Every structure is written in structure tokens, then in C-alpha cells.
Amino acid sequence: MGKDVIIACDFASAAQTMEFLDKFQGKKPFVKIGMELFYAEGPKIVRQIKARGHKIFLDLKLHDIPTTVKKAMAVLSRLDVDICNLHAAGTAEMMRAALEGLTRPDGTRPLLIAVTQLTSTNQEAMEQELLIDKPIDQVVMSYAQNAKRAGLDGVVCSPLEAAKVHANCGSEFLTVTPGVRFADGDKGDQKRVMTPAQAKEIGSDYIVVGRPITAAPDPVAAYERCLAEFVG
Ligand code: C5P
């Protein structure tokens, strides 16, 4: 898969999601389904969106004992999604088990990427609550390398970290980056942001864009603008 824009469908119901996707008519953007929509609607929302011809990043961030993650990943793999994810903090053993679970009898599987440290976790919380006293960027890179060694395909990271992840883990290791805003847009609650053009420049493989598209007066035009800036 090449560079693409993934729309974060952070909606509370299938009805709202379908109303949004209907605006795109013939176009089939890559979409991200997160916990809110998945927990509200269950696996059928994945099947519905897949049946409409969209690629799907199922963003459920699994983190549990290896056996449980392996079995859960086998279920997600049967939903025929394109990308799944988990927390690298679950250890290399959990990540390897996840890959086994995801791999279908014919040897194919969805891409599997890892969350390193959530961008909502800062240095202070890491030190005070998680008792990790290394600098956060070192922790992010070390988790990314663990994911790579476990055989994963990439990481979710800030666009500001993407170049460093590629330098440490190789250019083939995917960087999927949220925190994207248009130069003339509202940042909302995202603190460290990049434009789609900047994300392209620093080598992100996929950008995940929510509100700049979903809350735009013309979501299709906003999506096209993202594509033009990022994919060119
Ligand atoms: O609306 P916005 O463009 O900020 O949406 C970004 C999406 O990426 C949301 O679904 C958010 O949960 C997700 N995300 C993020 N930062 C991370 C990981 C995921 O914004 N570090």
C-alpha cells in the first residue's frame, strides 16, 4: 500500500458514519474505525464499511496477555480489515502472538502497527506513574525497535517523530501519523501538529485526519485537499 490519507471516523453511531460516507459518492477513502464506533456498533460496522469498498484501519489498541491478544487478533483478521494495532508496551511476546493470530490460513494478514507512547502521556506522567525515567523520545524509539524486531509493520506516531522512526527502523517500517492540521485550520486539542504537506515532506506513510475533514463545511473538498497536499 502506498501513501494515503486515512479519515478518522470518530462518530458515535453507524447512522452518522454512513451519512458522512454517503457524501463521498463514488470515492472510497481509507477510514479509521476507533473504539467509540466499534463499541457502539460492534463488528457489523466493520463489515458494512468494508462492503462499501473502503479500506479499514481498525484502531482498537489491544494490550493483554499474549494468548488473549492472539485470539482477539484472529477474530479481527476474519473481519478482513487492512490495518490493526496494539500497544508496544504489551511486550515483544505479545506482539509476536498478535502476528500469529492475525495470519490467515493462506498466509495473508492485515498490517499490524504499534502504539508506542500515547501522545497524551508526557514525561512527567511516565516518570511519576509508570516509573519510566528515560527521555520520552528514547522510549518511543526503543518501543518502535521492539515492534520492528517482533515483526510488526510500523508504528502510530506523531508526524514529528516519523523521520526519526524511519532513521532507526528503516524506510520500509510504516509511520502512521495523526495530529494533522491545515495551515489555515483550527488546531483543536492537538498540540503538536503538521500540515499534510509537511507530513509528506518528513516521510509519513499514512496520515490520520479526523476533524479537519469530518467537521469541515465541505468534507469531500477537505479530503481532496489533504490528498493533494499529502499524496500530490
Ligand atoms: O480529529 P483529529 O484529526 O484530531 O483526529 C485524530 C485521530 O487520531 C483521532 O481518532 C485520535 O484518537 C487519533 N490519535 C491521535 N493521537 C494519537 C493517537 C491517535 O490523535 N497519538
In this predicted structure, the answer to whether residue 73 has a pLDDT above a threshold of 80 is: yes
pLDDT tens-digit map of 96-131 = 999 999 999 999 999 999 999 888 889 999 999 999
Burial of 24 (0-12, 13-18, 19+ CB in 10 A): middle
164 φ, ψ (degrees, to nearest 5):
-65, -40
Among this protein's residues, is 32 annotated catalytic? no
CATH number attached to the domain at 4-230: 3.20.20.70
Q: Which three cell numbers stand for residue 96?
A: 509476536
Q: Where are the domains of the chain?
A: 4-230
Looking at residue 191, its pLDDT comes to: 78
Of 32, 143, 208, which is best to mutate to test ligand 1, by the most ligand atoms within 8 angstroms of its C-beta? 208
Percentage of the chain modeled with pLDDT above 90: 91
pLDDT tens-digit map of 190-230 = 777 899 999 999 999 999 999 999 999 999 999 999 999 99
113 φ, ψ (degrees, to nearest 5):
-125, 160
What b/e string do you get for 189-211 counting C-beta neighbours within 10 Å, with b at 16 or more? ebeebbbbebbbebbbbbbbbbb
Lowest mean pLDDT among 17-21, 118-122, 135-139, 193-197: 118-122
Average pLDDT over residues 134-158: 96
Ligand 1 atom closest to 120 (CA): 21
Helices (H), the chain: 14-22, 35-41, 43-51, 66-78, 92-102, 123-128, 136-150, 159-169, 196-201, 211-214, 219-230
